[in-house]
Amino acid sequence: MPDRIRLDGRVAVVTGAAGVIGTATVRLLAERGARIVAVDRREQDLAAAIRDLPASAEALAVTADVTREDEVTIDAFYNNAGIEGDIKPIPEYSVESFRRVLDVNVVGVFLGMKHVLPVMLKQSKGSIINTASIAGLIGSPMIAVYSASKHAVIGLTKSAAWECSGTGVRVNCVCPGLIDSRMLSTILQGRNPGNEPPPTEKILDRIPARRLGQASEVASIVAFLASDEASYVSGSAYTVDGGRTAA
């Protein structure tokens, strides 16, 4: 009986591959047999992300900007590139910074789907996984623009899933919560400028699991959604948040 979680013979394209979640996902997909195309703007970090992958991954690093339409090269797709933007209240947020966040987090996701969908629809199969956030499900102070961009990602995901009804192409997204990462550290520091971030205990009080999530735990959900085990899953937003949004 075939192992439906395996990805042997499949090509997985991961944007934002140099980030903590992107790197963890690349490694897990490669372990499960996928061939890897890793995409990021940061050339050195990207090289490090694929350095120790197994030879079977045939890993290819592509330095590209997901906001440039002519640089998006896709087969099977984890649409993961994203930035947190400035950590400021709305009245202090510049229009330029607002547009930059939307360019990366929304336009980048749109371009990924725009280019991969024709390929997948032609072959009548495929799985697209977008990275949203629990900030796309609930409001959060000082990151209103990031939150708005992730609400948009969930909307794009659900709409694309409907457009792909009956085609064999699935579109889902993951919504990470408080993940141990550079982005979380930046947000916490931005909310406490000039001061120490809040103590760990105060942060964990908001999480039923009483700990931060790990990038590998997000990667596990992405790998599941990319596999045949998720063949009946489309249009879903999977929270990976230790129960943070359960209330």
Calculate ∠ Cα 181-105-39, nearest 5°: 70
Catalytic residue of the set 93, 146, 232, 238: 146
Distance CA 236, CA 206 (A): 24
Q: How far apart, in Å, are the Cα atoms of 147 and each of 5, 137, 138, 150? A: 32, 8, 8, 5
Q: State how far the Cα of 126 lies from the Cα of 120, in Å rounded to an integer.
A: 5
Q: How far is Cα 74 from Cα 113, in angstroms, rounded to an integer?
A: 9
- Establish whether 232 is a catalytic residue: no
Q: Under 8 Å CB-to-CB from 66, ≥6 apart: which residues?
A: 15, 16, 39, 72, 81, 104, 108, 111, 112
Helix, strand, coil fractions of the chain, as percent rounded to 5? 45, 15, 40
Could you tell me where the DSSP H helices lie in 11-94? 20-31, 43-50
* Structure token digits, residue 22: 């992107």
CB 162 within 8 A of CB 235: yes
Give the Cα separation of 42 and 184 in Å (integer): 19
By annotation, the residues acting in catalysis are: 146
